Amino acid sequence: MDSVREWIRRLWGALHPSRGDRDLEQELQSHLEFAAEEARRRNSDDAARNARVAAGGLSQAMDAVRDQRGVPWLDDMQRDVRYALRGLARNPGFTAVAALTLALGIGVTTAIFSVVYGVLLRPLPYADPDRLMAIFEVNSKGRPVRLAAPNFDDFRAQSRSFQAMAMYTLPYPKSVSGAAQPTRTMVAAVSPDFLSVLGVQPIIGRDFNASDAHKGASPTALVSYGYWRQHLESSHDLSGTHLKIDRTTFSVIGVLPSAFHFPADVDLWLPADLEGESLSRTSHNYSAVARLAEGVTVEQANRDISTIARRIHDTSNEQGTSLLVDGRVIPLQDSITGKARSALLLLLGAVGFLLLVACANVANLLLAQAAVRERELAVRSALGAGRGRLIRQFVTEAFLLVLIGGSLGVMGAVWGVDGLVELAPSDLPRLDSIGINVPVLAFACLVSTGVAVGLGALTAVRATSGDLRDDLVNGARGQTGSQRSQRIGRLIVAAQMAITLVLTVGAGLLGRSLMKVLQVNPGFRVDRILSMDVSLPSVDPAAKPGQARFFATLIDRLETIPGVRAVGATCDLPLNGGHPDGLFALLGRNDMPKTMTDLRALFQQQDRLGTADFCVATDGYFKALAIPLMRGRVFDPRDDADAPHVAVITQALARDRWPNQDPIGRTIEFGNMDGDLRPLTIIGIVGDTHEYGLDVPPRPTVYVSLFQRPRAAMSLTMLTDADTQQVTSAARGILKQLDAEIPATFRTFSQVYSASLGSRRFNVILIGFFGITALVLAMTGVFGVMAYSVSRRRREIGVRLALGAARGDILRMILSQGMRTIAIGVATGIGGALALTRTVGSLLFGVTPTDPLTFAGVTLFLVSTALVACYLPARRATRVDPMVALRDG
Amino acid sequence: VANKEPAKADVLHGTLDLMLLQTVAALGPLHGYSIAARLEQVSGGALQINMGTLYPGLMRLEQRGLVRSEWSVTETSRKARFYTITAAGRRQLAAEKAEWARMTAIMHTLLHNLG
């Protein structure tokens, strides 16, 4: 009890020194006076001095009392912090470089960790997420695949490892009307217990129940929070809310929580059984999610499911390669993050490495700093500062540096994570759960603390090893230890240079590829094009002529919008995934296939076959996108539904299939693309277009007319001089007049163009970022090591100068020493880059992995930057005053 | 600045508190110097306690609530801080005295009867 009270008072004393130093000193003074008085009484000569000797020194006693008064380390810490702050402020350049280096390292690590945490580690936002499992069939190739409905039913009925099991389809797009605006929305069909397996409740309304899934039940739907906010006006009364999908009306019965995104991107959930269940054991239509029963492990569940799966395999009458051979249970979180895991961990490893390099640099800087302060350390040591005390001083400085650097870094990370999420490939799962949150901040603190302790301890032990008091006497210190640490420092710098070179070469190659890609002529106009995706309800094949009429009217009306110069339509926009492709057959004059048998016979004759992409378009499409007509003609009003069907082909097809011949007038059979067996007569040749991406060669393509071969989903392309917003709203109005239930999506073609370069740009930015970070670190590394070396060699430089060396000689000497290290690094780096760039060969376009221009440019750039980093310390070396250097060491 | 000089203080640690408490308890309010002088006198010069030991010890006792102190004036009209034992201090003193007696008795028995 007493000692507890003592420590409370000590703490209090440390924070509120009620008995101030003056009070203590007065007490001690009075003690000395009493002693002197008594000594005088005994007739001593030098009474005051004797008294002091007898009583012990005043200042030492003061220290001892002070220690008893407060908490010694707390007091010391205050003093250390004050002292360290003074030190950092005295050297703003050093402080800035060290803090920014740490900020870079900690910031980048934090940013990447936030992604890793959000995607891989953060628990799924469902009840007891670690009990949730995904269930797969295993196919004959040993790969997990989705489930066939009867297999799912058997798993659910026969397994004993799960509390509950639900199934759901992959998301698919549907035209949804009935809300404020018709939309193209991702829909998933789920079994009625889907939400209860996940442990999620609608925030408004009710969950599905078993009767919603019965045949003949009135159709119901659940909507996402986002859809509800955006399209249902956040209405809390759902009783009158209905949505129409393919002419079926669904009552909206509930709204899901805002954090619920499963399966990803879905805004509308429908009960699965209404979809019409397939009885085949080989149609893999469903995914399954299940909750483990109490006390069951993943392994037990796996064995359970595997047994059932093998039994199905052995007894089913649907034998063949599509039938399952086994079953597998995987934790749901792993199944969602599966593919991203290794890439993200690799990335985290890479930034962890950058952080280490940053630390090595700062350690070098701190050592250089410590070398300058050697004398000061020696003096403090002589005045009685213990080694522990000096070490604590170093650790305090390191903590302050890390505090500054870490705060800057975390601030940078907060800003950078948004950019990272924006840039990240959209197939990265769980993007919405990435952010700077408490666990990420805790991680940043942990990393920073580790860095601070490591840096402080390393520097302190290095700087205070050996007897500092000897240094004061000798004015120099043994060189062996410092030479070893300098060698390590140089090794680190050379390694950094090598890594930087590899990364920068990689970034250079990818960057040059991107530039080459941008130089490719796509074969069509990119600017001033506004596209409008329209999907008609696709229920009835007999509706096809209606679809053609609808689009014809729509195109006519769109052409009347002020500022719109041309309107066309295509089934697939270029750079947006490409067209379907297939086999076509060349027809002679008299062999029109009348039956399927004729057709099959035709496709047996290899010499009559050809391969091409198939695209439905209108004449306006070529005009709007400025795809040039090479020969013949494009579609015109003569080519209506009743006229002979015609086709326009691309130069690539003409070249491939009819070299040195004229394809115009020839007839082909391409009916397997849209089921229409009527032959197509070639009427014209147009220029090639890069449909699949600028870096993919143009493909042979057959264009057919929308008015002869109608389709439900088309992209309308408008060439416009007017403001995009105005044209968009005018077009929306026109569509609404024609049919209020059809949704449209608008994009400018520049967006499509830019998105098609997305992953290439992401790669350049990512590796470029790593390259720049590595470059900055390597340069601070060079700077730190050279500064350390120069401060170590001041005495030697002083001697050289005193013996008549010119300042230029000193500059050359230091520079050449630095350049040796750099040369080793660069040489290693070139070797590494030559070996490694081959692996990114598939990402390159128009440059070889050993592109001499890139290699030379990057090497020149790195060496010259490194020269600058060497020059600054070297210049300081030339300013050494020989007198001062020789006197002070 | 050195604050960890354990050798001297630790040897005295256990007994110093007891000596200080006993002196203050027996002789009433005393200032630091007279406590040290009294201890030196009683021990025949064997105990010379310097300021660096004495005052931290007194402060420790005060922090534990065993003594309290205030500035006052001596007979010779000098200002000094006087230490007085508290009720808790008397209890602690009694307990430590008993413990000390028990310990010395054990040591006495040990040293004389096992010889």
pLDDT (tens digit per residue) in A733-750: 999 999 888 888 899 988
Paired strand residues for A174: A185
Contact A26, A62 (CB under 8 A): no
Q: How far is A468 from chain B (nearest CA, A)?
A: 16
Contact B96, B108 (CB under 8 A): no
| Residue from the list B3, B33, B50 with its beta carbon closest to the beta carbon of A63 | B3
3-class DSSP state of A362: helix
Question: Cβ of A64 and B56 within 8 Å?
Answer: yes
pLDDT tens for residues B12-45? 556 888 899 999 999 889 999 999 888 888 888 7
Contact A424, A762 (CB under 8 A): yes
Q: Which residues of A touch B64 (CB under 8 A)?
A: 2-3, 5-6
Q: Which residues of B touch A6 (CB under 8 A)?
A: 60, 63-64
pLDDT surpasses 60 at B7: no
Q: Which residues of A touch B66 (CB under 8 A)?
A: 2
Question: What one-character DSSP code corresponds to residue A663?
Answer: -
The pLDDT, as a whole number, for residue A726 is 93
| Residue from the list A10, A27, A63 with its beta carbon closest to the beta carbon of B63 | A10
The pLDDT, as a whole number, for residue A35 is 82
Strand ranges of the sheet holding B30-31, from the earlier edge strand across to the other edge? B30-31, B79-85, B67-73
Helices then strands (H, E): number in chain A?
Answer: 27, 23
Q: Tell me how far apart the terminal alpha carbons of chain B are, to the nearest angstrom.
A: 47
Question: Cβ of B55 and A63 within 8 Å?
Answer: no
The pLDDT, as a whole number, for residue A465 is 65
pLDDT tens for residues A783-831? 888 887 887 787 888 888 888 888 888 889 889 988 898 999 999 999 9
Which of A1, A2, A26 would you mutate first to test chain B, the one with the most B CBs within 10 A?
Answer: A2
Radius of gyration, CA atoms only, chain A: 39
The model's confidence at residue A253, banded by pLDDT at 50, 70 and 90, is very high
Q: In sequence order, what are the residues at sequence separation of 6 or more whose Cβ sits closer than 8 angstroms to the Cβ of residue A103?
A: A404, A405, A406, A407, A408, A409, A412
Is B12's Cβ below 8 Å from some Cβ in A? no
Name residue B109's amino acid. T
Given phi > 0 = left and psi -120 to 50 = alpha, else beta, which region is A563? left
Neighbours of B28 (CB within 10 A): 10
In the numeric block, which tokens belong to residue B61? Answer: 């006792």
**Start-end of H helices in A722-806:** 724-738, 749-756, 758-792, 794-802
CA A739 distance to own-chain centroid:
41
Q: Which residues of B touch A27 (CB under 8 A)?
A: 32, 55, 80-81
Neighbours of A846 (CB within 10 A): 14
| DSSP H or E segment with residue B24 | helix B6-27
pLDDT surpasses 90 at A553: yes
Question: Cβ of A27 and B55 within 8 Å?
Answer: yes
The model's confidence at residue A457, banded by pLDDT at 50, 70 and 90, is confident
Q: Which residue in chain B is spatially nearest to A7 when comparing CA positions?
A: B63
Q: In sequence order, what are the residues at sequence separation of 6 or more whose Cβ sits closer than 8 angstroms to the Cβ of residue A732?
A: A744, A746
CB pairs under 8 A between A and B: 93
| Residue from the list B2, B48, B57 with its beta carbon closest to the beta carbon of A384 | B2
- Cα distances (Å, whole numbers) of residue A797 to A322, A790, A804, A808, A872: 79, 8, 11, 12, 16
3-class DSSP state of A648: strand
Q: Tell me how far apart the terminal alpha carbons of chain A are, to the nearest angstrom.
A: 55
| Residue from the list A6, A33, A61 with its beta carbon closest to the beta carbon of B60 | A6
Contact A233, A179 (CB under 8 A): no
According to DSSP, the β-strands at A701-705 and A609-617 are parallel
CA atoms within 13 A on the CB side of A514: 19
Q: How far is B112 from chain A (nearest CA, A)?
A: 36
Q: Which residues of A touch B32 (CB under 8 A)?
A: 27, 30-31
Q: How far is B114 from chain A (nearest CA, A)?
A: 37
Lowest mean pLDDT among A72-81, A230-239, A311-320, A581-590: A72-81
The pLDDT, as a whole number, for residue B5 is 38
| Residue from the list A2, A26, A67 with its beta carbon closest to the beta carbon of B56 | A67
Question: Cβ of B55 and A65 within 8 Å?
Answer: yes
Q: How far is B113 from chain A (nearest CA, A)?
A: 37
Q: How far is A9 from chain B (nearest CA, A)?
A: 6
- In degrees, rounded to 5, the angle at the alpha carbon of residue A70 between the alpha carbons of residues A69 and A73 is 135
Contact A712, A546 (CB under 8 A): no
- Give the mean model confidence (pLDDT) for residues A446-466: 80
According to DSSP, the β-strands at A242-245 and A248-255 are antiparallel
Residues within 8 A of A (CB atoms), B 82-101 only:
92
Q: Which residues of B touch A21 (CB under 8 A)?
A: none
- Give the mean model confidence (pLDDT) for residues A640-661: 92
pLDDT surpasses 80 at A370: no
Q: How far is B102 from chain A (nearest CA, A)?
A: 22
The model's confidence at residue A48, banded by pLDDT at 50, 70 and 90, is low
Angle between helices B51-63 and A2-15 (to 10 degrees): 110
The pLDDT, as a whole number, for residue A481 is 47
Q: Which residues of A touch B59 (CB under 8 A)?
A: 65, 68-69
The model's confidence at residue B6, banded by pLDDT at 50, 70 and 90, is very low
Lowest mean pLDDT among A275-289, A554-568, A637-651, A780-794: A275-289
| Residue from the list A6, A30, A67 with its beta carbon closest to the beta carbon of B79 | A30
Q: Which residue in chain B is spatially nearest to A5 when comparing CA positions?
A: B64
Q: How far is B52 from chain A (nearest CA, A)?
A: 4
Say if the ipTM goes beyond 0.85.
no
| Residue from the list A6, A27, A72 with its beta carbon closest to the beta carbon of B3 | A72
Could you give the CA distance from residue A136 to residue A363 in angstroms, rounded to a whole number? 51
In the numeric block, which tokens belong to residue A491? Answer: 């090794």
Q: How far is B50 from chain A (nearest CA, A)?
A: 5
Q: Which range scores top for mean pLDDT: A42-46, A463-467, A774-778?
A: A774-778
Neighbours of A152 (CB within 10 A): 22
Question: Cβ of A24 and B92 within 8 Å?
Answer: no
- Cα distances (Å, whole numbers) of residue B13 to A290, A296, B20: 68, 61, 11
pLDDT surpasses 70 at A475: no
| Residue from the list A30, A69, A72 with its beta carbon closest to the beta carbon of B80 | A30
Q: Which residues of A touch B92 (CB under 8 A)?
A: 2
In the numeric block, which tokens belong to residue A581? Answer: 């492709």
3-class DSSP state of A504: helix
Higher pLDDT, B63 or A646: A646
Contact A374, A477 (CB under 8 A): yes
Question: Cβ of B81 and A27 within 8 Å?
Answer: yes
| Residue from the list A2, A10, A61 with its beta carbon closest to the beta carbon of B55 | A61
Could you give the CA distance from residue A170 to residue A286 in angstroms, rounded to a whole number? 7
Q: Which residue in chain B is spatially nearest to A380 when comparing CA positions?
A: B1
Contact A800, A472 (CB under 8 A): no
Question: Cβ of B64 and A69 within 8 Å?
Answer: no
The pLDDT, as a whole number, for residue A49 is 58
Q: Which residues of B touch A385 (CB under 8 A)?
A: 1-2
Residues within 8 A of A (CB atoms), B 20-79 only:
31-34, 36-37, 48, 50-53, 55-57, 59-60, 63-66, 78-79
Which of B4, B5, B55 would you mutate first to test chain A, the one with the most A CBs within 10 A?
Answer: B55
Q: Which residues of B touch A68 (CB under 8 A)?
A: 55-57, 59-60, 63
- In degrees, rounded to 5, the angle at the alpha carbon of residue A724 between the alpha carbons of residues A718 and A726 is 105
Contact A115, A420 (CB under 8 A): yes
In the numeric block, which tokens belong to residue A111? Answer: 């940013």
Q: How far is A373 from chain B (nearest CA, A)?
A: 19
Q: Which residues of A touch B33 (CB under 8 A)?
A: 30-31, 34-35
Q: How far is B34 from chain A (nearest CA, A)?
A: 8
Q: Which residues of B touch A9 (CB under 8 A)?
A: 63
| pTM score | 0.67
The pLDDT, as a whole number, for residue A50 is 63
Question: Cβ of B56 and A68 within 8 Å?
Answer: yes
Q: In sequence order, what are the residues at sequence separation of 6 or more whose Cβ sits closer than 8 angstroms to the Cβ of residue A355?
A: A105, A106, A108, A109, A447, A451
Q: In sequence order, what are the residues at sequence separation of 6 or more whose Cβ sits closer than 8 angstroms to the Cβ of residue B89?
A: B21, B24, B25, B61, B65, B66, B67
Is A491's Cβ below 8 Å from some Cβ in B? no
Question: Cβ of A63 and B52 within 8 Å?
Answer: yes
Is A20's Cβ below 8 Å from some Cβ in B? no
